[in-house]
Chains A and B, each alone.
Chain A
């Protein structure tokens, strides 16, 4: 079973601060996907990164895939209360999706 270590597990910051969430593994994935989940709802896809070294931007969110395709990071600039939620990384390969345990982000106004 492939494992994805996600850190930090919890993060509480003030509105306007920057933050980075990390997702690491010893396994190589064909892609790394980031999701956001609200309580009691299904995860919603934010982005998929496929190529080693790839960087994607989604407004204030920047996603990076490691050169070796084993790790990824999510950076949020100037966090807002609407960014509050559970952020999940997931590695894809061999028709399976392996999830990290998530980072619970709270942005305080």
Chain B
């Protein structure tokens, strides 16, 4: 089944403790992105990648890092999480941006 897999689905952590949210796609897609979704603010792009080793900032990149060492994986790294990063996170992939994206099921992160 073609899909984007995110892990974990739920995560509660403490301020300052480094964490990684993994994202993997099995569709050989070139493009991958990370979004956060907050009430009243909608979905906002954090980082995106056009291909292996090519990444760029989206609208809200502060406090996040990404890497794209392999085509299928695009992890999101929070080096020192803070409470304002509590949110619902989505990873998405596409083989061409005009053909629409496939989204993962989301990671609900709470930072206390």
Interface residues in chain A, defined as those with a beta carbon under 8 Å from any beta carbon in chain B: 1, 30-31, 33, 35, 40-45, 47-48, 50, 88, 90, 92-93, 95-102
Contacts and interface: CB of A to CB of B under 8 A. Distances in A.
Q: What secondary structure prevails in chain A residues at the interface with B? A: strand
Contacts of A102: 42
Contact of A1 (B41, B42, B59, B88): B59
A96 B58 contact: yes
A41 B105 contact: yes
Shortest beta-carbon contacts, A-B, top 8: A42-B103, A31-B98, A45-B100, A101-B42, A99-B43, A48-B100, A92-B97, A43-B103
B85 interface: no
A43 B91 CA distance: 10
Given A95-B31, A97-B45, A99-B43, A42 B98 contact: no
Interface of B: 4, 31, 33, 35, 40-45, 48, 50, 56, 58-59, 88, 90, 92, 97-106, 108
A48 B105 contact: no
A62 to B, nearest CB: 17
B48 A95 contact: yes
A5 to B, nearest CB: 11
A25 to B, nearest CB: 14
Nearest to A93: B97
B97 A101 contact: no
B45 to A, nearest CB: 6
A30 B33 contact: no
A92 to B, nearest CB: 5
Contacts of B44: 99
Given A30-B98, A88-B43, A92-B98, A97 B33 contact: yes
